[in-house]
Amino acid sequence: MTENQSIHHNPIALHKALDRIWGTKPGWGRLAAVNHNVIGVRFMLTALVFFAIGGVLAMLIRTQLASSQSVFMDAETYGQVFTMHGTIMMFLFAIPFFEGMAIYLLPKLLGTRDLAFPRLGAYGYWCYLFGGMILIGALLAGVAPNSGWFMYTPLSSSVYAPGINSDVWLLGITFVEISALSAAVEIIVTIMKIRAPGMSLDRMPIFAWYMLVVATMMLIGFPPLILGSILLEVERAFDLPFFDPTRGGDPLLWQHLFWLFGHPEVYIIFLPAAGAISTILPVLAGTPLAGYRMIVAAIVSMAFLSFGLWVHHMYTVGIPHVALSFFSAASALVAIPTAIQIFAWLATLAHGRARFSIPMLHIFGFFFVFVIGGLTGVMLAMVPFDWQAHDTHFVVAHLHYVLVGGFIFPMLAMAYYWVPHLTGKQPVQHLSHAAFWMIFIGFNLTFFFMHLTGLRGMPRRVFEYPPEFGWEVLNFVSSMGSFVMAMGFALIALDFILLFKFGRAFRRNPWKAGTLEWAMPTPPPPYNFASIPRIDCRADLLDPDVIGPHLAAGRGYLGIPRDDRMEVLGVNSVTGEPEQLVLLPRQTFLPFWTAVATGSFFLLMLFKFYWATPVALAAVIVCFCLWSRSDASSFDDDAVPIGHGETVPVHIRAESPPSYLAMVLTLVADTTLYISLLFGCLFLWISAPNWPPENLQNPNLWLLILAAATMSLGSIGSRISKKSAHMALVGNGLAFAGHLISTGLLISIAFYSLPSPSGHAATASLFVILCYVALHGVVGSIFAAHALLRALRDHDMSVRALDLKIGGLWHDYSAASGFAAVGFCLLLDSLVHGGGL
């Protein structure tokens, strides 16, 4: 108690105490880092390294194309270079960079100390790093993917790409996507649950709304890509013909799955950048953001619309006009929410007094470039024009206007705006102007004329062209422009190095911003806020100069560290009133080792040691089981004081703890994957040649129904186990047995009663669906076993309630997926044998 007294209202003592708890240990301890400051910065720095690599590849491309019949690269090398350029820029640079930015910024803007699941963030980072390293390794070894960043089959299939190249893409990218999905879950849960008290939905800083929308899009958008990658890898490795037209597969299935992810992806990249602009621009204009509510409505609408336009990448594959019209109209429509945001920014500028500064210069670059990209986007959305422009350099120009305008310029604006926060130093600004103009001019020189190159007939992805085609002058101009741009980026790098070395220190809040990230010392301490604020107006209209010292003195919530615990507040997702005390896990090596185990699985797949993969999977499962040991149970009271005379329960005893929401979200992603799988198989029936299969024996239907029924024992068992402590043993035992038996049945059907799945895509589909359900059985039995063990060890019932609730969700979902599989078998059977209804 005496120690606490001395901490009370003494900022220095408080800082020391908190820093000891939250800080990352030096040396090897760095591998155990879970803090969002560390993880966020690691994400961003790693992404920048990949950006540099992708940029070098871009320069190689431009060197090659500068003259006709250049002998710099051969066709194979060029294929690897442009594929890796696109892949790196999209998957290893753009997405991870904004993930890092969100991880770094969100807790600060939301007025809290860390994200909801720090270990998940660390795990995501290691997956990203290791996955990226696999791809770069392949590039150095000369076996990089070479069928373009969208990996169209059959070019990427084992027949036409027998080497390891495509496997590197499919496995490496799937590995990296683990980090995207985990980031999505983490971001949503954090925004919904871990905010400062009083921050109701309408008071969230606009950036939080953007990230909430983006993370939800990731949750729905990535599963189709992951599914597609799994199916294609399974086709390559085990000859299940999902995409092989000679055996009832269809290359178009891949295109649908890829673009169902691929188009939302563009908005997933753009929206965080737009969120940053919505945060920075009002500060620079010295006035609140105009149209907060309309912007929220616009980005929500945009998120939905962006899932209804993927076919605009497929206008030329032979889809009937009426179907194209749905996607064409949606593509045109999506310009409206964009226009609303643009004019909200213009309105903000008009009503404020713009302060000229380097971030503002980059915002100008954003407006200029992005508007052009948007306009050419509307052109391409029109089917007749796209029939000409598709797959030419016009599209290359368009996509760079959108990506560089919608991501690189905002990113540079953010960098100049927030690097003072990150380093505690203000820029010297000798090179910043020159660097901007070089990038800006170089960019337009490169890509503006490229529109014309495309309309003059130059397809994308060609490594040479005869001089008489008349594309040489335009290409030469583009190449020169790109070198100017590259020098501009080099200057930017130099500018930041100078900033780190010679930047001036500043007191609080250099931009006079109204957001909470400036209400802390800079560079930020690992715990962000010495105590947590209460918010009583919109959280971008605050006064950090007043709030900062107040919080540093521990006058907010949780101002007194206790028992070395990392504490944050969980709030009601709507009203923002405190509901629970969330205890975060301390620094640990577990995420690192789990990622190593996960990586070993992917490497074993890559090098075709399939027999050893179960060992790696088991290692992953063991690692994850170790995660669940938490020390939160040591809090006995129902009501823990959090300051200001208020008390709340610890999260494991709370009504809706963060982990419960996380499970719900995981199942949302899982459902998306399953629905994509079922629809994909039906799509084959509609579209693929060589249907119906000659001998589609359905699996033994009664056996399948039996399997689904035993699977539902899991969900019955979990209901029983919640009744009382005695019933817990019975219920969990039932669930465990149900899952095991059902998994056994499913596997025996898949492997013994189906004809060979490599014969026809229909059988392959059934096989994969059975495996999907069986996998849920395996995981369900692990949940049940875990609960069983805890019941045997006789923990306090109220502590186990959370585990049971989360397990219950899983059991219910697996049961539902089992019955859906039965339904699907019946449907497929009637479609195939009923001669089409």
Under the rule (CB under 6 A), what is the footprint of ligand HEM?
55, 58, 61-62, 82-83, 85-86, 89-90, 94, 148-149, 396, 400, 403-404, 407-408, 446, 460-461, 482, 485
Q: How many residues does the chain have?
A: 837
DSSP class of 643:
E
396 binds, among Cu ion, ligand HEM, another protein, none (CB under 5 to 8 A by kind): ligand HEM
> CB of residue 742 vs Cu ion: minimum separation in angstroms?
41
Separation between Cα atoms, residue 737 and residue 467, nearest integer Å: 72
Residue 498 makes contact with another protein by CB under 8 A = no
> CB of residue 332 vs another protein: minimum separation in angstroms?
5
Instruction: For the beta carbon of residue 443, count every other beta carbon within 10 angstroms.
Output: 24
Element (H, E) at 566: strand 566-571
Separation between Cα atoms, residue 250 and residue 761, nearest integer Å: 9
Residue 462 makes contact with another protein by CB under 8 A = yes
Separation between Cα atoms, residue 39 and residue 102, nearest integer Å: 11
* Chain contacts with Cu ion (rule: CB under 5 A): 263
> CB of residue 52 vs ligand HEM: minimum separation in angstroms?
10
8 Å CB contact between 413 and 368 = no
Residue 197 vs 228, nearer CB to ligand HEM: 228
Residue 781 makes contact with another protein by CB under 8 A = no
> CB of residue 55 vs Cu ion: minimum separation in angstroms?
23
| Among residues 321, 507, 629, 793, the one that binds another protein under rule CB under 8 A | 321
86 binds, among another protein, Cu ion, ligand HEM, none (CB under 5 to 8 A by kind): ligand HEM
DSSP 299-345: HHHHHHHGGG-GGGG-TTS---HHHHHHHHHHHHHTHHHHHHHHHHH
Residue 352 vs 807, nearer CB to another protein: 352
| Among residues 456, 508, 555, 790, the one that binds another protein under rule CB under 8 A | 456
Residue 251 vs 548, nearer CB to Cu ion: 251
> CB of residue 259 vs another protein: minimum separation in angstroms?
14
> CB of residue 404 vs ligand HEM: minimum separation in angstroms?
5
8 Å CB contact between 243 and 690 = no
> CB of residue 286 vs ligand HEM: minimum separation in angstroms?
31
Distances (CA, A) of 342 to 275, 289, 293, 301, 345: 12, 12, 14, 15, 5
> Which among 406, 203, 354 has a CA at the least distance from the CA of 293?
203
Terminus-to-terminus CA distance in the chain, angstroms? 77
Separation between Cα atoms, residue 522 and residue 506, nearest integer Å: 9
3-state secondary structure of 156: coil
> Which among 261, 258, 263, 269 has a CA at the least distance from the CA of 403?
269
Residue 377 vs 554, nearer CB to ligand HEM: 377
Residue 86 vs 241, nearer CB to ligand HEM: 86
Copy the structure tokens of residue 714: 């899991």
8 Å CB contact between 213 and 303 = yes
> CB of residue 396 vs ligand HEM: minimum separation in angstroms?
4
Residue 624 vs 679, nearer CB to another protein: 679
Residue 482 vs 765, nearer CB to ligand HEM: 482
Where are the extended beta strands (E) located within 486-558?
A: 504-505
Copy the structure tokens of residue 743: 């998994």
> CB of residue 241 vs Cu ion: minimum separation in angstroms?
23
618 binds, among ligand HEM, Cu ion, another protein, none (CB under 5 to 8 A by kind): none
With CB under 8 A as the contact rule, which of the stretches 17-25, 40-48, 113-121, 462-470 interacts with another protein?
Answer: 462-470
376 binds, among Cu ion, ligand HEM, another protein, none (CB under 5 to 8 A by kind): another protein
Residue 827 makes contact with another protein by CB under 8 A = no
3-state secondary structure of 465: coil
709 binds, among another protein, ligand HEM, Cu ion, none (CB under 5 to 8 A by kind): none
Annotate 279-297 with three-state secondary structure. HHHHHHHCCCCCCHHHHHH
Residue 263 vs 776, nearer CB to Cu ion: 263
8 Å CB contact between 445 and 481 = yes
Residue 722 makes contact with another protein by CB under 8 A = no
Sign of the dihedral defined by the CA atoms of residues 65, 67, 72, 75, in that order: positive
Where are the extended beta strands (E) located within 484-591?
A: 504-505, 566-571, 578-584
326 binds, among another protein, ligand HEM, Cu ion, none (CB under 5 to 8 A by kind): another protein
328 binds, among ligand HEM, Cu ion, another protein, none (CB under 5 to 8 A by kind): another protein
Separation between Cα atoms, residue 530 and residue 528, nearest integer Å: 7
Residue 314 vs 750, nearer CB to another protein: 314
8 Å CB contact between 464 and 422 = no
Residue 469 makes contact with another protein by CB under 8 A = yes
Separation between Cα atoms, residue 711 and residue 294, nearest integer Å: 46
Residue 326 vs 500, nearer CB to Cu ion: 326
Residue 573 makes contact with another protein by CB under 8 A = yes
> CB of residue 476 vs Cu ion: minimum separation in angstroms?
24
Distance of CA 147 to the CA centre of its chain: 24
400 binds, among another protein, ligand HEM, Cu ion, none (CB under 5 to 8 A by kind): ligand HEM
> CB of residue 264 vs Cu ion: minimum separation in angstroms?
9
Separation between Cα atoms, residue 65 and residue 71, nearest integer Å: 10
Instruction: Tell me which residue has tokens 């710099």.
Output: 72
263 binds, among another protein, Cu ion, ligand HEM, none (CB under 5 to 8 A by kind): Cu ion
Residue 669 makes contact with another protein by CB under 8 A = no
| Among residues 21, 335, 729, 775, the one that binds another protein under rule CB under 8 A | 335
664-679: burial string, b at 16+ Cβ within 10 Å, e else: bbbbbbbbbbbebbbe
Residue 382 makes contact with another protein by CB under 8 A = yes
> CB of residue 78 vs another protein: minimum separation in angstroms?
8
